[in-house]
Amino acid sequence: MTGQRTPDGASAAPLDAALGLTRAPDEGDAAVLRLEPSDLAVGATDPVTYLHGGALATAIDTAAWEAIVRVSDDSWVVADMRIDFVRLARNEPHRVRSTARKIGHAQ
């Protein structure tokens, strides 16, 4: 799928589809995704069901890629990503919004 956007309502990769991650309509300069968590996206279940951190990281990674391919015809991959989770995410739909602020090569 290099160099082209994922159509609205579709998933960028089989893993995205398995987790319940799909494209939503863009908002201005931002790429928007919707995470309707599947059973595979669930982590903890006691006492409340929460999402697995890997499912959330995949949503963030995919949103970043979608934001970049919106503004660049080049091929890109994420080379380094850091996520600090501050609290658990409930097992409910999530909207993931991403904007490319700077595109370039690592120094």
Q: What is the rounded CA–CA span in Å between residue 51 and residue 60? A: 13
Element (H, E) at 59: helix 53-71
Q: pTM, whole model, 2 decimals?
A: 0.83
Dist. CA 3–CA 59, nearest whole Å: 19
Q: pLDDT tens-digit profile of 37-96?
A: 999 999 877 887 899 999 999 999 999 888 888 888 777 777 778 889 898 899 999 999
Residue 8 one-letter amino acid: D
- Indicate the helix (H) or strand (E) that contains 34: strand 30-35
With DSSP H G I counted as helix, E B as strand and the rest as coil, what are the percentages for the chain, rounded to 5?
A: 25, 20, 55
Least confident of 26-30, 72-76, 96-100: 72-76
Contact at 8 Å (CB) between 58 and 19?
A: yes
